[in-house]
Amino acid sequence: MNRRAFLISSAGSAAGMMLLPKLSFAAEGRIDWYTGADSNILDFWTNIVKPAFEAAHAGVKLNLVDAGDNSGIQAIAERAIAAMQTQTDPQADYFEHADPRLPLGAIEAGLYVNMKEAGLANYAKVNPLAIDSDYSLPYRGSQVLLAYDTAKLSPADAPKTWDALVSWIKANPGQFVYNRPDKGGSGGNFVRRAIHQANGLDPKAFRVDNYTESFGNEALGKAWDLLKDIAPSLYDNGAYSSGNTQSIQLLAQGVVTMTPVWSDQVLQAIDNGVLPETTGIVQLQDLALCGNFSRAVVLANGRNRDAALALANFVLTEEIQSAILTELGGFPGVSWDYVSPELREKFADIIPASIPTFPAGAWETAVNDGWYRNVAPNINRQQ
């Protein structure tokens, strides 16, 4: 089961998918809000954000609409660009998660509000590591961590650097597992951490536009050597789990002591009783495992743009940012200094000093293909 399927199953039935985005009809004092994310995100907004925001903003209603997926969001954005040209109502004010670079030319057309210059009182709280564009607002994140069994490994001894992790894996054969990189992001980002380790701990060395076969072979080849070195010490003498969920299951069953996990997935697993509350979670401090943020945008031509900006400011409050940790299992979009001291203490071992990313496209294909050829040549990729 992949990460999206796990989140859907743990949060309840997924919202029905639509062939076309459902249109809303703008009304004064109503924010038309859209998401293409998993059902747990819609549930979070329905049960946590909407009632709190409406209670704090008398006369303003939050109309939550499921766009189905990211293509649904883009279709609404294209409709909004057309509405700019005809000076008509785009019937949308706020996208819960969107890339302002899409559709192509959207920023240049003036579709999205410049969040940096919008005068949001809470904008200064945003974690600088999370900012990707002035036209979007990072408000929740997810990152790959290491989860471990504290009955077998003391938190004081949990590895916090790559070298310490490798030493622990070799000293505890059979007690670490990661999933195949094309079967889930937790294992995939463990592999990418090895790539960063082998290439000077410099995530900026890898960009979506700089892949070449020769550069890829050189950079990835060094990582394959690292991963082949630890392979005999992994679970079952070099076995790999089939996805994010199976890794968590192996940890829950006591088969392994440690495994990479998505932050939101492991926190939900603990909350749902899949993993015990004593489960430890830790982040590498020399360079964290990869992660990313969901970034909201406000449409500049939305009829209720000012109310939508008030919503953008509201989701950065301590109330909502704390709920992202405790109710959603995500990371805050604000700097951790703006999270309550109690939560900072509780999650001290997973506060990242960095939030590296890794490009998709040709790099992703090269990583997956190269891993099977060089690290796990005996695994049937189709199984």
Q: What is the pLDDT of residues 347-380, one digit of tens each?
A: 888 887 778 989 888 999 999 999 999 999 999 8
Give the model's pLDDT for residue 382: 77
63 vs 10, residue with greater confidence: 63
Both structure tokens of 199:
């290439």
Q: Is the pLDDT of residue 2 over 80?
A: no
- Give yes or no: residues 327 and 190 share one domain: no
Q: Is the pLDDT of residue 265 over 50?
A: yes
**What is the pLDDT of the chain when averaged over all its residues?**
90
23 within domain boundaries: no
150 within domain boundaries: yes
20 within domain boundaries: no
19 within domain boundaries: no
Give the model's pLDDT for residue 11: 39
Give the model's pLDDT for residue 15: 33
In whole angstroms, give the CA distance from residue 73 to residue 101.
Answer: 13
Q: Is the pLDDT of residue 125 over 80?
A: yes
Name the nearest CA neighbour of 202 among 219, 227, 216.
Answer: 219
In whole angstroms, give the CA distance from residue 261 to residue 145.
Answer: 5
Name the nearest CA neighbour of 102 among 70, 132, 134.
Answer: 70
Give the model's pLDDT for residue 5: 44
In this predicted model, what pLDDT tens digit does every residue of 135-179 receive, in sequence order?
Answer: 999 999 989 999 999 999 999 999 999 999 999 999 999 999 999
Q: Give the mean pLDDT of 233-251.
A: 96
Name the nearest CA neighbour of 107 among 361, 348, 337, 299.
Answer: 299
Q: Is the pLDDT of residue 7 over 50?
A: no
Name the nearest CA neighbour of 92 among 27, 21, 32.
Answer: 32
160 within domain boundaries: yes
- Reported as a pLDDT band with limits 50, 70 and 90, residue 129 is confident
Per the CB < 8 A criterion, the answer to whether 122 and 237 are in contact is no
In this predicted model, what pLDDT tens digit does every residue of 302-361 receive, in sequence order?
Answer: 999 999 999 999 999 999 999 999 888 888 999 999 999 999 998 888 887 778 989 888
Q: How far apart are the first and last CA of the chain?
A: 13
Q: Is the pLDDT of residue 17 over 60?
A: no
308 contacts: CB under 8 Å, gap ≥ 6: 31, 33, 93, 94, 298, 299, 302
Give the model's pLDDT for residue 304: 96
Please tell me what DSSP assigns to residue 325: I
Q: Is the pLDDT of residue 10 over 60?
A: no
176 contacts: CB under 8 Å, gap ≥ 6: 168, 169, 230, 233, 234, 235, 256, 257, 258, 259
- Give yes or no: residues 102 and 112 share one domain: yes
Please tell me what DSSP assigns to residue 380: -
Name the nearest CA neighbour of 198 among 171, 234, 145, 162.
Answer: 162
263 vs 194, residue with greater confidence: 194
- Give yes or no: residues 170 and 252 share one domain: yes
CATH classification of the domain holding 181: 3.40.190.10
235 contacts: CB under 8 Å, gap ≥ 6: 174, 175, 176, 177, 241, 250, 255, 256
297 within domain boundaries: yes
- Reported as a pLDDT band with limits 50, 70 and 90, residue 1 is very low
Q: Where are the beta strands (DSSP E) in the chain?
A: 30-35, 61-66, 94-95, 137-148, 258-262, 280-282, 291-298, 331-332
Residue given tokens 């940790």 in the structure block: 325
Q: Helix 213-230 vs helix 362-374: angle between axes, to the nearest 10 degrees?
A: 40
- Give yes or no: residues 260 and 161 share one domain: yes
Q: Is the pLDDT of residue 181 over 50?
A: yes
Both structure tokens of 3:
């990460």
What is the number of residues in the chain?
Answer: 383
- Reported as a pLDDT band with limits 50, 70 and 90, residue 16 is very low
Q: Give the mean pLDDT of 256-282.
A: 93
Q: Helix 213-230 vs helix 162-171: angle between axes, to the nearest 10 degrees?
A: 40
- Give yes or no: residues 165 and 306 share one domain: no
Give the model's pLDDT for residue 25: 45
Number of domains in the chain: 2
Q: Helix 162-171 vs helix 185-198: angle between axes, to the nearest 10 degrees?
A: 110
Print the domain residue range for 66. Answer: 30-140+293-346
Q: Is the pLDDT of residue 122 over 80?
A: yes
Both structure tokens of 265:
């997935």
Cis preceding-peptide flag for 103 (omega within 30 of 0): yes
Please tell me what DSSP assigns to residue 288: P
Q: Is the pLDDT of residue 18 over 80?
A: no
- Give yes or no: residues 193 and 287 share one domain: yes
65 vs 18, residue with greater confidence: 65
In whole angstroms, give the CA distance from residue 115 to residue 297.
Answer: 8
In this predicted model, what pLDDT tens digit does every residue of 59-95 receive, in sequence order?
Answer: 999 999 999 888 899 999 999 999 999 999 999 999 9
Residue given tokens 């990583």 in the structure block: 367
- Reported as a pLDDT band with limits 50, 70 and 90, residue 3 is low
- Give yes or no: residues 218 and 166 share one domain: yes
Q: What proportion of the chain, given as a percentage, has pLDDT over 70?
A: 92
